[in-house]
Amino acid sequence: MGTVDTPSRARPLPLAIVLVIAYVIVFPNRAGHEIVVRAAWSTSIGLPSRLTGSSAVVHGFRLGDAFGYVDPSGILLRLEAVFHDVAFDDGHYANYSKGSEAIVVRSWDGGITASLRGSRWPLLLDRTPDALMMFAPDLLGFGEFAMDGTARWDRELGSLITCYAAFPEAVAGGLPRCVVGTLDGTVRIIGRDGADLLRVDSAGSRIAGSYGCAVSDDGRLVALFLGLDPQRLVMLNRADGTYRELWSRDMAQEVRSERIAVFSGDSRYLLIETGDGIDVREARGRRTWSVACGGALYAVATVGAEVVAETRQEDGSGELTVLVLPDLVVGRADVGVIAEGGRYLAGYDGYVLHGSAGHIGRLDVLRL
Amino acid sequence: MKTAFVAAISACLVCAPAGAYDWPVSVPTVVATFGQGVGGRFGYGVSIVGGGTEVRPIAGGEVVFAYDPARRSASVPRGPGAQVVIEHVERVRSVYSHLAPSTVTRLAVVSGSTAIGSIGDSGTALGPTLGLQVLDLETRSFLNPLMVLPLLRDAQPPVVVRTLIRRAEAMLELGKVGSATPGNAEILVEAYDLREDVPYRWRLVPYSFTVSVNGRQTLSVVFESRRYDEARLLVGAGRTAASVLRDAWLFSLGEIQLQLGETHLQLLVRDYAGNESSREYFLSIKG
């Protein structure tokens, strides 16, 4: 665990150690704006580290066997070794080992927030400081727990959880808590009290299963991937306080794992993993665009109307693609060979944090 | 008796003719059986040791779900680790957990001889262990893998540590007490199974417990399968797993009615190979 000493400052620009090409791309998009992608800073991650400092805004990250917090200007504020895995958001973390009998939740600066007994593994609810989700080690059940350890609700689903997405916390209007899909092809929208608000199944497909889910930032749209042969994409829309099917499509490519799918920040588009890139679909319409990327999609981060996608080739090399929705590629960057688990991507307002090969950095995506 | 019992178990291969499924590793060393869980949770499958050992499916089929942390991120903390799920004919699925990352198959269809991964320690596994579960989609049940896979022979009978009856808050150990008062009494047994092929004293959950009172079978708990939407063992008694597994190796078999007079209790504990351990107790029930 890092201790207080001196701040670690970011170097102004990487010398292509991590981002092989740190370049500025200027492209006019359809609306006439220029998009500038700029590597703002990069800092190396090396344990052990002695750090200090504080900031009003901090961003959590995980990179291989390390995790920590950095401020938007690149000052590394905290760096720790991961025990077995770590659940974190931009304010708290829970670093836990395999045989943990208790989960300790700490604020980003290390102060203990809560200690919860039990052998479950945590998932922090983003920007919800008073509760977290805890998943059974066999993934047959999960629940929402308050920070004092009491279960607000606890469900046994009887089938392996294959996908999960949380509804945004800050949106008013009594949104549900989460969407969860299980191996038997059932997807549940679960309310704040833990009860099912809606159940959808993969009837109509030869093989039952749930293969991914996503919730839009406004909480009004839910995308589900159900079944095999065919694998269907079902879009649910919130109307009159309930969710109903808006449309469904059979997927041309089937994915037999949890499929990456992310709504754009404005909820207009759904970005979907394909074998060699991304499909961009209108969330409420019928149009689809295919964007070829270098390799299989590994992570997607939205930055306003722009998207940064990380892909991975078979040889382990990675590439970042910057995309102006729906299909205008405005930049690509080779990020070198990615070690197992040694990558990170998260989107913020106007920039992404990207980690690879022992470095964490910031890419600004600017609309001029 | 033992031969007949083994034949009965073989005849109970659910949803497949005898011999349709085979062990996923060449030499299966089972270190946890159906019912034996971690952290107080019911174990829905078996655990097999053998770090690095190649894993094959119990039968050919279609890969319906796979997760490899070396290639994919996940939306939840995945305790089962690297995992493959295969669907076989007659809507039976097998689940392989804690595989070594980077070894998970990318195939969509596999035969019984296809390597689908290697035994690893991903997820919650504290050592190299394969977790194997078998699901029956028609009955929505977790099947005991030992009921559908070829019999693992061993000659070691289960160990019965003690048998207890609980009356109100009092716990009496049978064999050390000779009398009791009439009324309802819960029967609890502390017992475990051992196997010869595990070179250390590794406890396993036995296959079944039976209690006969005055010659009539009264209580029975059989670790056969478990419906996953009703949270109960398929023993015909409608009991939940939590009500059976009271503590590590302490099993509640149910309640009997103690009536005035002499009572003869017979306990029979069986393992999957048909080995039996029995105990007899005589109680005077006095008002």
* Residues on chain B touching A296 (C-beta within 8 angstroms): 71
pLDDT, one tens digit per residue, over B30-79 is 988 888 776 667 788 999 998 789 999 999 999 999 999 988 889 999 99
For residue A170, the model assigns a pLDDT of 61
Segment A177-184 mean pLDDT: 96
Distance between B41 CA and the closest CA of chain A, angstroms: 9
Judge if pTM exceeds 0.95.
no
For residue B14, the model assigns a pLDDT of 33
The answer on pLDDT for A182 being more than 80 is yes
Kindly state whether A189 is in contact with chain B, defined as any CB-CB distance less than 8 angstroms: no
pLDDT, one tens digit per residue, over B121-170 is 999 998 999 999 999 998 888 988 998 899 888 889 999 999 999 987 78
Residues contacting residue B32 through CB under 8 Å, at least 6 positions apart = B43, B46, B47, B204, B205
Nearest to B77 among A121, A183, A257 (CB): A121
Sign of the alpha-carbon torsion through A117, A120, A121, A126:
negative
DSSP B22: -
For residue B7, the model assigns a pLDDT of 37
The answer on pLDDT for A145 being more than 70 is yes
Distance between B181 CA and the closest CA of chain A, angstroms: 40
Could A98 and B124 be called an inter-chain contact, meaning their C-beta atoms sit closer than 8 Å? yes
Cβ B213 vs Cβ B256: under 8 Å: yes
For residue B212, what are its two tokens?
Answer: 């006969």
* Residues on chain A touching B77 (C-beta within 8 angstroms): 85, 87, 121-123, 135
For residue B55, the model assigns a pLDDT of 97
The answer on pLDDT for B252 being more than 80 is yes
Segment A124-137 mean pLDDT: 79
The answer on pLDDT for B9 being more than 50 is no
Q: How far is CA B212 from the centre of its chain?
A: 22
* Residues on chain B touching A135 (C-beta within 8 angstroms): 76-77, 79
Could A184 and B63 be called an inter-chain contact, meaning their C-beta atoms sit closer than 8 Å? no
Segment B257-286 mean pLDDT: 93
Separation of alpha carbons A50 and A46, rounded Å: 10
Give the rounded percent of residues in chain A with a pLDDT score beyond 70.
86
Segment A129-149 mean pLDDT: 88
Tell me which of A333 and A8 has the higher pLDDT.
A333
For residue B261, the model assigns a pLDDT of 93
Tell me which of B234 and B228 has the higher pLDDT.
B228
For residue B256, what are its two tokens?
Answer: 């009997």
Q: What letter represents residue A64's amino acid?
A: G
Q: How many CB atoms lie under 10 A from the CB of residue A22? A: 19
Kindly state whether B222 is in contact with chain A, defined as any CB-CB distance less than 8 angstroms: no
For residue A53, the model assigns a pLDDT of 73
Segment B93-100 mean pLDDT: 97
Q: What letter represents residue B145's amino acid?
A: P
pLDDT, one tens digit per residue, over B176-185 is 888 888 999 9
Could A340 and B102 be called an inter-chain contact, meaning their C-beta atoms sit closer than 8 Å? yes
Tell me which of A6 and B82 has the higher pLDDT.
B82
pLDDT, one tens digit per residue, over A240-266 is 989 999 999 999 999 999 999 999 989
Segment B217-222 mean pLDDT: 90
Cβ A246 vs Cβ A235: under 8 Å: yes
pLDDT, one tens digit per residue, over A185-232 is 999 999 999 999 999 999 999 999 999 999 999 999 999 999 999 999
Give the rounded percent of residues in chain B with a pLDDT score beyond 90.
54
